[in-house]
Amino acid sequence: MISVTFVCLGNICRSPMAQLIFEKLVAERGLKNSFAISSFGTSDCEEGNRIYPAAKKILLENGVEGEHIARQISLKDVINNDYILVMDSENLMDILRLTGGEFGEKIFKLCSFTANPRDVADPWYTRNFQKAYSDILDGCKSFLDYLLLHKQQAFEYDSRH
Ligand code: 4NP
Where are the domains positioned within the chain? Answer: 2-153
Q: Nearest C-alpha to atom 9 of ligand 1 is from which residue? A: 10
Which position among 88, 122, 135, 138 bears the catalytic label?
A: 122
Q: Ligand 1: distance of its center to the CA of 3 in Å?
A: 24
pLDDT over 90, % of the chain: 94
What pLDDT score does 153 carry? 86
pLDDT, tens digit, for every residue of 125-141? Answer: 999 999 999 999 999 99
Q: Residue 8: CB within 6 Å of ligand 1?
A: yes
**Cβ atoms of residues 15 and 39 within 8 Å:** yes
Give yes or no for residue 13 CB within 6 A of ligand 1: yes
Going by alpha carbons, the residue nearest to atom 10 of ligand 1 is 10
The verdict on the CB of residue 88 being under 6 Å from ligand 1 is no
Confidence of residue 23 (pLDDT cuts 50, 70, 90): very high
Q: What pLDDT is recorded for position 154?
A: 85
Atom of ligand 1 nearest to the CA of 9: 3
140 is catalytic: no
Helical packing angle, 14-28 and 53-61, nearest 10° = 20
CA of 43 to the centre of ligand 1 (A): 9
Q: In what order do the strands lie in the sheet with 83-86?
A: 35-41, 2-8, 83-86, 107-109
Q: Is 45 designated active site?
A: no
Q: How far apart are CA 89 and CA 109, in angstroms?
A: 8
Would the pLDDT of 99 be above 80?
A: yes
pTM: 0.97
Q: Which CATH number fits domain 2-153: 3.40.50.2300, 3.30.530.20, 3.40.50.1950, 3.40.190.100?
A: 3.40.50.2300
pLDDT for the residue 155: 83
At 123, the amino acid letter reads: P
Task: Summarize pLDDT for 27-48 with one digit per residue, the tens.
Answer: 999 999 999 999 999 999 999 9
Any catalytic annotation for residue 135? no
Ligand 1 mean position, distance from CA 121 (Å): 11
